[in-house]
Structure 1
Amino acid sequence: MSEQRTRPVIYAVWLIIASVIGWFAAFQLTMDKFIQLANPEADLSCNVSVMIQCGKNLGSWQGEVFGFPNPILGIAGWMAPLFVGVALLAGARFPRWFWATFGAGVTLAFVFVCWLIGQSLYASNLGVLCPWCMLTWSVTIPTFFATMLHLTRNGTFTRNEKVQARANSLMAWVPLATVLAYAFIILLVQLRGLDLLGEVIGMIF
């Protein structure tokens, strides 16, 4: 389904909503990082419990993979989907190279989030869940699914009209795919929790 024949309103609105949520989470993490730098012993608002907190993540090497706090990536990066969403609602049309670049950026964000999820659950120096990070995960995952399908239906990935039409029909399944992805992450969390419990019991007995 050519983008020239239809304006992707729902997709555009989602990009705006996801950007606002993602940017807010990144901003909150950045503020907590500033507080942590000023006072390493500060009780951060995101530190809910031993297992749910952002302080440990922010203070780890995984929290600044590129030499600066990861939230800065979010503050800058979420501006792109916000711009695209607003522009689409205004009727803007983007060339194929633009969509390809945008898709690459969303894909990199998704891969980075998957890596961070794995680090949060399985890295020996972490083993905690960050509330603001999870909020970021919750919008990055559906944004990736929706963007890949949109780039298929608008002709970025293929000119085959049947494939484009199929991708357009699959957009309705993005919410279900997102719920299944959330369920998979929850399952990993539960299994990791059982592993940790088993290790504790083993240490005791």
Structure 2
Amino acid sequence: MARKIDSELTEEQIVAKLVKYDAYPTAHQLAGGAERGLAWLITLCGFIGLWSSLSLIIAEKEKLTNPQAILLCDVNPLVGCGEWIGAWQNEVFFGISNSVLGLAFFAGIAALGLGLLARAQYARWLWQLLSVALGGGIVWVMWFMYESLAVEGKLCPYCMVTWVVTILLFVHVTARSAQAGHYGQGAQDFGRSYVRNRWIVIITAYAAVIVLIVTTFWNLLSVLVS
């Protein structure tokens, strides 16, 4: 029987907590799996992204069917998706709507997450491919954010939802992939530090986005809230 250190924890439990704090990967992670929290996060983000993409597809269909329609996503002069429908920024790749591509992308993310919840173990190349795909997603977020803030002066609410989940996914997946050695053993020490500080990275990114939005639209925000 494990020797009691105090009335609450055994020696083995304390060791396990220290290992978790130091962010050492488990055998399951090293084999290509994911810890439970990451599996849930990937799954939930995938389904949230699916909902956002599907909602935008429905809005596009409604607007194209009735150009005079007042869309649910058209909240005020600053926040709305109606003006993006038919815009070139919404059909960058082969004339296909971003929402359709997003639907396919987040369906894949949700499927991967469900597999991880079922204790699946993926090959290293799949984790690397996922990281590259999410890196591309971050580039898209930055580009569309620039178009929204600096060019069009309009925020698409469904797009902003995808911004939030893409940032969350990118940081968590790259941190856990580095921790588990999917980028090579040399990246594991960095990965452990990255995992311990991943929420700081995420909060900093979200704060930067909020500051950009507020400073860009300060005059309009002042009018809307007055």
Match of 2:203 among 138, 163, 179: 179
Q: Which residue does 1:86 correspond to in 2? A: 114
Question: What RMSD over aligned residues (CA atoms) do the two structures have, in Å?
Answer: 2.0
Match of 2:162 among 120, 129, 136: 136
Paired with 2:69 and 2:156, the residues of 1 have a C-alpha distance of: 16
**In the alignment, is the contact (CA less than 8 A) between 2:81 and 2:156 conserved in 1?**
yes
Q: Which residue does 1:43 correspond to in 2? A: 70
Q: Which runs of 5+ in 2 are unaligned?
A: 1-24, 222-226
Bigger Rg, structure 1 or 2: 2
Say whether 1:150 aligns with 2:186: no
Amino acid corresponding to residue 17 of structure 1 in structure 2:
L
Greater RCO (Cα-Cα under 8 Å, separation 6 or more): 1
Amino acid corresponding to residue 182 of structure 2 in structure 1:
T
Say whether 1:119 aligns with 2:143: no
Paired with 1:150 and 1:83, the residues of 2 have a C-alpha distance of: 18
Say whether 1:96 aligns with 2:124: yes
Deviation at 1:182, TM superposition (A): 1.4
**In the alignment, is the contact (CA less than 8 A) between 1:4 and 1:93 conserved in 2?**
no
Deviation at 1:72, TM superposition (A): 0.5
Deviation at 1:70, TM superposition (A): 0.5
Say whether 1:188 aligns with 2:212: yes
Deviation at 1:173, TM superposition (A): 2.9
**In the alignment, is the contact (CA less than 8 A) between 2:179 and 2:195 conserved in 1?**
no
Amino acid corresponding to residue 80 of structure 1 in structure 2:
G
Pair 147,7 (structure 1): closer, same or farther in 2 beyond 3 Å: closer
Segment of structure 1 superposing worse, 130-139 or 2-11 = 2-11
**In the alignment, is the contact (CA less than 8 A) between 1:22 and 1:139 conserved in 2?**
yes
Amino acid corresponding to residue 211 of structure 2 in structure 1:
L
Paired with 2:86 and 2:213, the residues of 1 have a C-alpha distance of: 21
Paired with 2:118 and 2:102, the residues of 1 have a C-alpha distance of: 24
Paired with 2:63 and 2:34, the residues of 1 have a C-alpha distance of: 44
Deviation at 1:39, TM superposition (A): 1.1
Pair 65,195 (structure 1): closer, same or farther in 2 beyond 3 Å: farther
Q: Percent identity?
A: 31
Match of 1:53 among 74, 80, 85: 80
Pair 45,195 (structure 1): closer, same or farther in 2 beyond 3 Å: closer
Pair 166,50 (structure 1): closer, same or farther in 2 beyond 3 Å: same
Paired with 1:178 and 1:27, the residues of 2 have a C-alpha distance of: 25
Pair 181,121 (structure 1): closer, same or farther in 2 beyond 3 Å: same
Paired with 2:133 and 2:213, the residues of 1 have a C-alpha distance of: 27
List per-residue Cα deviations over 1:16-57 (Å, max 9, x = no partner).
110111110000000000011111111010000011101112
Q: How many residues align?
A: 193
Q: Which runs of 5+ in 1 are unaligned?
A: 198-205
Deviation at 1:169, TM superposition (A): 4.6
Paired with 2:219 and 2:76, the residues of 1 have a C-alpha distance of: 19
SS in structure 1 of the partner of residue 30 of structure 2: coil
